[in-house]
Amino acid sequence: MSNLAIRCEGLSKRYRIGASLERYKALRDVITDAAAAPFRRLRGASRNGSGNHTHVANTQAIVDNGYIWALDDVSFEIKPGEVVGIIGRNGAGKSTLLKILSRITKPTSGRASVYGRVGSLLEVGTGFHPELTGRENIFLNGAILGMRRSEINRKFDEIVAFAEVEKFIDTPVKHYSSGMYMRLAFGVAAHMETEVLIVDEVLAIGDAQFQKKCFQRMSEIGRHGRTILFVSHNMSAVRTICEQALIVDHGRLLARGEVNQTIDQYLAQVNPQSEEENVETPTFRVSSVQVTSETGPVIKTFDPVQIKVKFIPKIDIADPGMFVSILTVESRRLAGLDFKDFTRAAPVEAGQTCELGFTIESLPLLPGTYRLELHLKNSRDMVELVPHLYEFEVAETQVYGGRKLDHWFGKVGLKANAWIGD
């Protein structure tokens, strides 16, 4: 038996920018995509020609003559039984890496070997058909994931019990609640008996209870000596499940090591976040956005925090202003701050750098990834959305004394005290 589970040597993947754009569009709407097909080439060409990189800034990958290196010379080895978390910003190349290792897409150069059967779970419920019953979907989905019928038969009761759908197993899944649907879909994948399991961000969907359940199942699988590669934005999930972590950034492997150490290193690097690339709106160029803690390199719950935005208007602005929103990674709006509610800034001329900011006395966010959405004001009532979400991370700390907080505690930290009646 080999003493390796996965070996990657110089793995690289290049995408054409036009191609990645069209796919993004197509995901939203297959029909409009089909209608636009004849024009796609044209559009891609003109974008590349203009050298406008605003959309590329979102994917944060290396741009090279109309190509993006989503993955650039990545090499590592993973031994059987290791549970490894892959962390990095959006578009850093994590998913591309998983897709290559799952054999969904081919690398542009380099090679990889995966020893043993691979189960990959890049999405919950791939291939589920709404018209088919729960029972039928278990078999269909199992076959799609590469399970043998005998294996599914053996695991059937366990899957149904995990999903808690015993009563509805012969009902078409279109009548299921979304919770039932997701439990069933995850259940099938979570009962694969493969040597290597590749999981992408599946815990990001669903309610807290669902996440907890998946979470437990993942830890259980990990304890049984199987190799797991796990991508997640949920740092506490990675810390709990994984022993090791890989950091991927701009398509490159930055670090690898013990999970807590590696995550701390990652957080220190991501915060304060500053984007080198300029993001443009019709009348502004945003040159940097920073979120920093005033107490250290890492942002922690209840820290005093500063948000600093630097931008250059293309026209004279009499009354510059901005609106900053904090969103969850699922883009749910948590809070907002409007500059004009606090003070007025001096007029700025075209081409001059303007810096505006907020200080937050105590950041009421629990550990996790958040996003900053920015609107800039170009005249009395006109505001422009900056087409980029700036991510920042609130590091894992012991918010209320002793223990780590999980999803049961939500997103918001409450400065509270408990008391006992007389």
Partner 1 sequence: MSTESSPLLSVAHIEPSTRWPSLGLNEVWDYRELLYFLTWRDIKVRYKQTVLGAIWAIIQPLFMMVVFSLFFGRLAGVPSDGVPYPVFTFCALLPWQLFAHALTESSNSLVGNRNLITKVYFPRLVVPISAVLGGTVDFAISFVILLALMFLYGIVPAWQVVAVPGLVLLAVTTALAVGLWLAALNVKYRDVRYTINFLVQFWLFATPVAYPSSIVPAKWRVLYGLNPMVGVVDGFRWALLGKPESPGLPLLVSLIVVLLLLVGGLYYFRRLEQEFADIV
Query: Considering the complex, what minimum distance in angstroms separates the CB of residue 253 from partner 1?
Result: 16
Q: What is the closest distance, in whole angstroms, from the C-beta atom of residue 143 to partner 1 in the complex?
A: 4
To partner 1, the closest distance from the beta carbon of 33 in angstroms equals: 8
CB neighbour list of residue 57: distance below 8 Å, 6 or more residues apart: 275, 277, 278, 279, 388
Q: 105-110, long-range: CB within 8 Å, 24+ apart, which pairs?
A: 105/13, 107/11, 107/12, 107/13, 107/71, 108/12, 108/13, 108/14, 109/10, 109/11, 109/12, 110/8, 110/9, 110/10, 110/11, 110/12, 110/73, 110/74, 110/75
Instruction: Tell me: does residue 421 bind partner 1 (CB under 8 A).
Output: no
**Beta carbon nearer to partner 1, 77 or 264:** 77
Count of residues near partner 1 by CB under 8 A: 50
- Return the residues of window 221-280 that contact partner 1 according to CB under 8 A: 224
Task: Using alpha carbons only, give the angle 360, 365, 367 rounded to the nearest 5 degrees.
Answer: 130
Based on CB atoms, which residue is closest to partner 1, 54 or 109?
Answer: 109
Q: Which is nearer to partner 1, 54 or 133 (CB)?
A: 133
Smallest distance, Å, CB 290 to partner 1?
Answer: 35
Cα–Cα dist 43/48, whole Å: 9
Q: Specify the residue, 168 or 339, whose C-beta has the smaller distance to partner 1.
A: 168
Task: Select the span of 71-79, 127-135, 235-243, 362-370 touching partner 1 (CB under 8 A).
Answer: 127-135
Q: What is the C-alpha to C-alpha distance for residues 233 and 199, in angstroms, rounded to an integer? A: 12
CB of 220 to partner 1, least distance (A): 10
Give the CA distances from residue 276 to residues 57, 65, 160, 356, in Å, rounded to whole numbers and listed in that order.
Answer: 9, 19, 50, 18
Q: What are the residues whose beta carbons fall under 8 Å from the beta carbon of 11, sequence distance 6 or more? A: 71, 73, 74, 75, 97, 100, 107, 109, 110, 111, 112
Contact mark string toward partner 1, 199..228, x via CB under 8 A: -------------------------x----
- What minimum distance in Å lies between the beta carbon of 389 and partner 1? 23
3-state secondary structure 164-188: CCHHHCCCEHHHCCHHHHHHHHHHH
DSSP string, 206-219: S-HHHHHHHHHHHH
Contact (Cβ atoms closer than 8 angstroms) between residue 102 and residue 96: no
CB atoms within 10 A of CB 35: 10
Q: Which is nearer to partner 1, 167 or 224 (CB)?
A: 224
In the set 48, 58, 90, 108, which binds partner 1 (CB under 8 A)?
A: 108
Q: Which is nearer to partner 1, 138 or 348 (CB)?
A: 138
Least spacing, CB of residue 110 vs partner 1, in Å: 7
Of the two residues 73 and 195, which places its CB atom closer to partner 1 in the complex?
195
**Least distance (Å) between residue 163 CB and partner 1:** 19
Contacts (CB under 8 A) with partner 1, residues 6-65: 15, 19, 23, 30, 33-34, 37-38
SS3 state of residue 53: coil
169 or 327: whose CB is closer to partner 1? 169
Contact residue for partner 1 among 73, 77, 164, 193 (CB under 8 A): 193
Between 1 and 416, CB nearer to partner 1? 1
The site map against partner 1 for 133-172 (x = CB under 8 A) is: ---x--xx--xxxx-xx-----------------------
Cα separation of 157 and 287, whole Å? Answer: 56
Q: Tell me, residue by residue from 78 to 107, as one string, x for binding to partner 1 by CB under 8 A and - for no binding.
A: ---------------------xxxxxxxxx
CA distance 348 to 315: 9
Identify the helix (H) or strand (E) that includes residue 254: strand 252-258
Give long-range contacts, CB 8 A cutoff, 24+ apart: 49-55. Answer: 53/277, 54/278, 54/279, 54/280, 54/387, 54/388, 55/17, 55/21
Residue 66 contacts partner 1 per CB under 8 A: no
290-349 positions binding partner 1, by CB under 8 A: none
**φ and ψ of 49, to 5 deg:** -65, -40
The answer to whether 67 and 17 have CB atoms below 8 angstroms apart is yes
Q: How far is the CB of 92 from partner 1 (least distance, A)?
A: 18
291: tokens are: 């979120």
Candidate list 43, 55, 129, 375; residue touching partner 1; CB under 8 A:
129
Binding site for partner 1 (CB under 8 A): 1-2, 15, 19, 23, 30, 33-34, 37-38, 99-118, 120, 122-123, 126-127, 129, 131-132, 136, 139-140, 143-146, 148-149, 193, 195, 224
